[in-house]
Structure 1
Amino acid sequence: MVLYGVAALALCMLVGMIIGDLIGVLVGVDANVGGVGFAMIMLVLVSAWLRKKGLFPKPSEQGVLFWSALYIPIVIAMAATQNVAEAIDGGPMAILAGVSALVAGAALVPVISRIGEKSEPLPPMTEKEKQEV
């Protein structure tokens, strides 16, 4: 049964990489564009759907958890290294895209912080809580 979890992970990874390659071709880049991200999202959605339908037994779930703890972070690290190497070779456009994403993310911090209702502030820490910290 653990094998089924590993097979689900492998299938999601394969489909995600194909999608990433197709997006790369569509935008005219000779690289995989977001394949690992698509694979991870697909794995989350597929495993949640299978669990909801009762088709994902606990041992299969353990197979996915085992490999996600090992494999996915390694693949992401490899993809990040590849992206940095490509960005350095890409020149000013890659640097401009990175800086633009950074500026947009920083600009959205105040907007995101306003989402939700205002709440009461936390009560002051007791002496015992201060000592624990």
Structure 2
Amino acid sequence: MKETGTKINEIQSDIPGIILLSHGPLASGLLGTMEMVLGTVENVTALELEEGDHTEEYRKRIAEIAEAMPEKSVFLMDIFGGSPFNQVIQYFLENSKEIRAVSGMNLGMLMAAVNARQNNDSDMIEEITKMGKEAVINIGKQWNEQ
């Protein structure tokens, strides 16, 4: 299994973590793009499920990262119902933890998570979800209605 965008050694205990999970390189791509715009950000990591990886091993890595991150950390995942989603939900259920996860991740959501965290926004999940929805714009329709 390939782990990319690793910041696991730079964890600060007072900053909630953001863990990006995806099929293939989407998670590290979003992390790299976010860092291009905002610079290096603490407590953010990407964990990708590659073809041929075993889901049990992937869930073990999810658990390792989740346990290393501070409370109120959040998972952003590529798609609802996919293997990364299923493994993180199973982790939460096995450990009787509050589910702090959002699917359908995009760059706007990741940047909103970083900003909400810096502002000590207690409702980080709502802010992430709101930005994810607002980031989807039918540009043709917007342009043509002007």
TM-score by length of 1: 0.29
Q: Rg larger in 1 or in 2?
A: 1
Q: Specify which structure has the higher proportion of strand.
A: 2
Q: Specify which structure has the higher proportion of helix.
A: 1
